[in-house]
Structure 1
C-alpha cells in the first residue's frame, strides 16, 4: 500500500513538473510573439519612411538636417547586434525625428496639401498607433510571464530550466516629463 502511495505521489509530481514546464514554454513563446508584433510594425514604419523623406525632399531642400536625422535613426533601427532596448531607443529617436518632419509640413503649404505626403503621414500615424498598442501588449505578456516565472512553485521549474525574468519596455525619462502648453 505504501509503495502504491509513493508511486502515485511520484506520478503526480512528474505530471506537475511537465505541466509547469509546458506552461512556462507557452508564456515564453507568447512573449516572443508579442515582440515579433512590435518588430512587424517597426519594419512597416521602416519601409514607409524613405517614401516620406523623398516626398518631403522635393519641398524642403534646405531642411536637410531634419531629413538626415530621420534617415540616420531609421538606419539604426535594425542594426545587427542590437538588443531589444537598443532597438527601442532607436525607435524613440526615430519617433522624435518623424515629429520634426511632420512639423516641417506646417512651413510648406504645398507639402501639407500633397496627396502622397498626406497618405504617408496617415499611414505612419496608423503605424505609430499599432506600435503603441503592440508595446502595451508586449508589456502585458511579459508581466504574465514574469509572474509565472517568479511564483512558487513554478519558480523552481523555471530556475532548473533556465527561464528568466524579462524586461518590460519603458518610456524614456525625457518623454515622461509634463508637456508645457502655451498659447
Structure 2
C-alpha cells in the first residue's frame, strides 16, 4: 500500500514537471517567433521605404548607376524565406550600409531639399532603429530559450521533443560577414 502511494506521487510529480517543462519551452519558442515576426514585418517596411527612396532619388537624377539593381538583389535576399534568419539579416546589414552611403550623399548635396525625400529618409532611419531593437529582443528570447533547453528539468523534455538550440542573430551575421559573402 505505501509503495503504491509513493509510486503514484512520483508519477504525478514527474508528469507535472514534464508538463511545466514543455510549457516553459513553448513559451520561449512563442517569444522567439513573435520577435521574428516583428523583424520580418520591419524588413518588409524597410524594403517598401527603400524602393520609395530609390525612386525619388532616381527621379531627381541623384541615384548612381546600377544602385537600384544591386539594392533590389540585396532586398530579394533579405526577403527570401528559404534563407536562414541570419542570412536575411546579413543581407539587411549590406542594405543598411548602402543606405547609409546614400543618406550621406543626399545630406551633402545642396540641390536635394525635397520634403518628401526627407520624410522618407527619416522614416527609413526610424525603421532601422526599430529593427535594431527588435533584433535585440529576438536575441534575448533565443538566449533564454537556449538556456532553458540545457537546464535539468526541461533538458529531458527538449531532447525527447526535438527542441534544438537556435543561433543568436549577431553570431550568425558576424559569421556571414567574416566569410565575406557580400552580394
**TM class, shorter-length:** 0.7 to 0.9
Relative to the length of structure 2, the TM-score reads 0.88
Question: Please, what TM-score do these two structures have when normalized by structure 1?
Answer: 0.88
- Please list the CA deviations of residues 1-53 of structure 1 after superposition, one character each: whole Å capped at 9, or x if unmatched: 22111111111111111111111111111111111111111111111111100
Distance in 2 between the 1:17 and 1:62 partners?
Answer: 59
Alignment of 1:22-171 (within 5 A): 22-61=23-62, 63-111=64-112, 113-170=113-170
For residue 119 of structure 1, report the CA deviation from its aligned partner.
0.2
Deviates more, 1:122-131 or 1:75-84: 75-84
Aligned length in residues: 175
Deviation for aligned residue 1:101? 1.4
* Per-residue deviation, residues 139-177 of structure 1 (Å, max 9, x unmatched): 11111111100111311111011011110011537989x
Cα offset, 1:107, TM superposition = 4.5
SS of equivalent to 2:169? coil
Aligned with residue 172 of structure 1, among 171, 174, 177: 174
Residues in 1 aligned to 2:11 and 2:134: alpha-carbon distance in whole angstroms: 42
Alignment partner of 2:136: what SS?
A: helix
TM-fit CA distance, 1:61: 4.9
Distance 1:107 1:73 in 2: 25
For the 8 Å contact 2:87–2:176, the answer to whether it is kept is: no
Question: Could you list the runs of 5+ residues in structure 1 that have no partner in the other structure?
Answer: 177-183
* Conserved 8 A contact 2:28-2:141: yes
Task: Say what the alpha-carbon RMSD is for the aligned residues.
Answer: 2.0
Structure 2 distance, partners of 1:7, 1:107, is 76
Q: CA deviation at 1:96?
A: 1.1
Greater RCO (CA < 8 Å, at least 6 residues apart): 2
